Amino acid sequence: MPPLERAFRTVLAEELAGQLSPLTDTLLRIAESLSHPSGLRRLPRRELPNEALDVLASSLATLDAGPEEEAAPEARPCAVIGCKRPVRSLGYCAAHYQKRRLMVASGRLHHAWTEDAAPNSIPDVILGRKRRESMEALETAVTPEPVRPSEGPRVWVRKKGVSPVVPTPSGDSQPVLQLAQASVIPTAQRSEREQVASIVEQWASEFRANKHRS
């Protein structure tokens, strides 16, 4: 072994022996006391104060009982007297809430039916039917007026085997054929008269011309 290493080991052993000597002495004394039963010493019992005992007992009881379950809150009853259903909105159950909405929409809200009223503090209200006059007025407003036929030329349908008939200004009905004949005859007579008048005028003009020449 090199001299440097030997010197280092010696210094280390001496240092450890100096540090561990108190611990070694204590362990030796404990070993000697345990080896002889008569040498054992009873340690004095230390009593805890009453406050500490109470705190310890309460903590043990809490651990044994476990977490207590929170009690569910009781449901608030409806504001209408005699109704035991739970509140849905504005202090009323579902049915009475819908009734209140209907009263508000129809303009018949009771003065006692306020929002967030106390439970079982409002008298119930029976909604009556609408008056007959209002219903009749509603039907009159909804019923459309009858549409009158437009005043125009009437269409006459000719039946099979019957000559067509046309109403006259006097109100009588005459066949179309008679009306056509009645309209043609005056026209023919008028044309003959015109021809005769033109011939007479021609003769008169010729006669006047011959008279002037002579």
The answer to whether residue 124 is domain-embedded is yes
Alpha helix segments (H runs only) across the chain: 3-35, 50-65, 94-106, 132-142, 176-213
Per-residue model confidence (pLDDT) at position 64: 59
Q: Give the domain extent around 180.
A: 176-213
pLDDT in tens, 143-191: 556 666 665 555 555 555 555 555 555 555 555 555 555 555 555 566 7
In a 3-state reduction of DSSP, which class is residue 175? strand
The answer to whether residue 187 is domain-embedded is yes
Give the number of other Cβ atoms within 10 Å of residue 83's Cβ: 18
In a 3-state reduction of DSSP, which class is residue 80? strand
Per-residue model confidence (pLDDT) at position 192: 78
The answer to whether residue 33 is domain-embedded is no
pLDDT at 107 over 70: yes
The answer to whether residue 188 is domain-embedded is yes
The answer to whether residue 132 is domain-embedded is yes
The answer to whether residue 108 is domain-embedded is yes
**Dihedrals φ, ψ of 58, to 5°?**
-65, -40
Per-residue CA distances from 13 to 5, 165, 185 (Å): 12, 155, 169
Q: Would you state the structure tokens that stand for residue 68, as one six-digit string?
A: 């207590």
**This model's pTM is above 0.75:** no
Classify residue 96 as exposed, middle or buried by CB count within 10 Å of its CB (0-12, 13-18, 19+): buried
Per-residue CA distances from 167 to 137, 180, 181 (Å): 45, 14, 16
Q: Give the chain's mean pLDDT.
A: 70
The answer to whether residue 128 is domain-embedded is yes
pLDDT bin (cut points 50, 70, 90) of residue 131 is very low
pLDDT in tens, 49-88: 556 556 666 766 666 555 555 555 677 888 888 888 888 8
The answer to whether residue 190 is domain-embedded is yes
- At which residue do the structure tokens 């006391």 appear? 33
Residues 6 or more apart whose CB falls under 8 angstroms from that of 95 comprise 85
Q: How far apart are CA 21 and CA 27, in angstroms?
A: 10
Q: How far apart are CA 193 and CA 190, in angstroms?
A: 5
Average pLDDT over every residue of 82-102: 87
First to last CA, the chain: 199
How many domains, the chain?
Answer: 2
